[in-house]
Amino acid sequence: MKMFEKNKEKMKEKMEPDKVLRFAIVAVILLFLIGALIIGTRMMNPRVDATEGVKKLTELEDANVQKIDAQIQELEQTEADEATAWKAKSAKEKMDGCIVLGDSTALGFRQNDILSKSQVKSKDGATVSDAEGSGLNELLTAVTEAETAPQKLILCIGRGDVAVSGETADAFAANYKSFVEQVKAALPDTKVYVCSIPAYLSLTSTGDATGSADSDTDSDSDAKDTTDNSDSKSSTDSKSSTDSKSSTDSKSSTDSKSSTDSKSNSDTSSDESSLSKMSTALDVTSYNEALKALCKEEKVKYVDTTDLTDASYFGEDGSTMTKAYYEACINKILEAAFRNYVIQ
């Protein structure tokens, strides 16, 4: 028994180094495998040198920036050339494909040779308050039945409504809204623009549109006494002289009365003329404010011409617009309708 235990101890001591050796061998094998795995992974996914790639990207970026700058400069030059060509065109050429529709205000563009006959559809006295009876609907029908619908339709209406119908601004705007909706339904692809009602000059009490008082020239001449009293020696002569003097005085009195009546009639006529001129000096401010609100509601462009109030824009009556007015007004319309160009 003791011998068995002794041999067992010897065997145990002999196996201990073998166990350490086996562990070491296993550890070495594991390290080898791990190393091989790492090397294999790196070989399968080699590290890329990004230096050359970054260099190429930088070159491409510089090239793109230069190309983009060149394209921008080309576009700017094209726009500048187009703007120059645009400015050189006449109003008729700029308004090609557009129509101005309305009352006597619209008619003025054609009468002053600002636009051609085909570019203006107008009728003196046309109103939105009576679109059917005043001929406004007829004008719209002529536009809608044309072979080609206009790209832009500019409405110049309202003076007749203000000066003749006497409607309030709210009633006027309601009628105008109905007509705008009628236009949009008939011409769905046409852009609609609404011009403000031209202002009236504020006239003086004598009706002078420029603000200075009218000067009245008295053309009446005093009656001249042509009686000759030098030869009154006889009673016959005296009687003749008396009769002559009486006749002369009577004529003088008659002429004087006639002159007074004539001057009185002239003054009365002048007063009536002044009153007539004063009756045209209407305030359109509230009507234009109503139009501006209407345009915002209907999503159409409002063309504001209310600052065109210089005396040179109006005739002596303070209401009739001159060619200078229409030249300024067409620029307002062009600026609103073609905002890509600078109008001068």
| Band (26; pLDDT cuts 50, 70, 90) | confident
- Examine the pLDDT at 301 and tell me if it is beyond 50: yes
Look up residue 69 and give its two tokens: 């700058």
What is 96-202+285-337's CATH number, 1.10.10.10, 3.40.50.1100, 3.40.50.1110, 1.10.1520.10? 3.40.50.1110
- Examine the pLDDT at 154 and tell me if it is beyond 90: yes
Q: List, in sequence order, the alpha helices (H) in 45-168.
A: 51-88, 91-94, 104-111, 136-144, 159-160
Average pLDDT of the residues in 12-21: 66
- Cα Rg of the chain (Å, integer): 50
Whose CA is closest to 198, among 310, 336, 330, 319? 319
Read off the pLDDT of residues 84-141 as tens digits, 9 standing for 90 and up: 887 889 999 999 999 999 999 999 999 999 999 999 999 999 999 999 999 999 999 9
Domain residue ranges in the chain: 96-202+285-337, 203-208+253-280
- Examine the pLDDT at 54 and tell me if it is beyond 90: no
pLDDT of residue 292: 96
| Band (211; pLDDT cuts 50, 70, 90) | very low
Contact 197, 162 (CB under 8 A): yes
Count the Cβ atoms, other than its own, within 10 Å of residue 298: 16
Is the entire prediction scored with pTM above 0.75? no
Distances (CA, A) of 110 to 81, 116, 118, 154, 157: 30, 6, 9, 14, 15
